[in-house]
Amino acid sequence: MAAFSDNSEIFSNLSSKIINLFLRRTEGNQDIISKTLDDLNSLNYRYPIITNPTEAILLVNQCCSFIPTDDGILVQKYSQLLWNLVRHQNLLIEGKTLTLAIQWCLSGLQTRDKNVILDVLQALDTILRSNINKQIIVSNA
């Protein structure tokens, strides 16, 4: 039980850290964001980590809003995180955040790096499959 508690607390702290970095947006933050994504991806998502789904949805929303899809390294790391959250934590992404995540993934496919493309496709596939029983409408609004 301690490992679950520790991982949940680490996830919460790292989520807050990355969201705060997005809000302060300075030039040196890209390296810190990259490291924080590494730290988030290193957690063992096979066990329950998310205790506050709203916090996780905010993380998804902020990452889709602020991670540039032309930065292959960040795109690949965030795609892996997105896959872990939806696939292993059963995070249900709905509404505007769902639309934002789908648009972000589609935009991330513009790269020429095949490894990045594979990670983005994996994240997109997982998002779409988790919403298979819901009507998905992606609009330009």
Each residue's pLDDT tens digit, 35-74: 999 999 999 999 999 999 999 999 999 999 999 999 999 9
Structural domain includes residue 103: yes
pLDDT digits (tens, 9 = 90+) for 20-35: 888 776 666 888 999 9
Structural domain includes residue 27: yes
Domain that holds residue 53: 2-130
Structural domain includes residue 13: yes
Count the domains in the chain: 1
pTM for the predicted model, two decimal places? 0.86
- The rounded distance, in Å, linking the Cα atoms of 117 and 98 is 19
The two counts, helices (H) then strands (E), for the chain are: 6, 0
Structural domain includes residue 55: yes
Structural domain includes residue 109: yes
User: Residue 53 contacts by C-beta under 8 Å, 6 or more apart in sequence?
Assistant: 91, 92
Structural domain includes residue 53: yes
- The rounded distance, in Å, linking the Cα atoms of 101 and 43 is 22
Structural domain includes residue 48: yes
Structural domain includes residue 33: yes
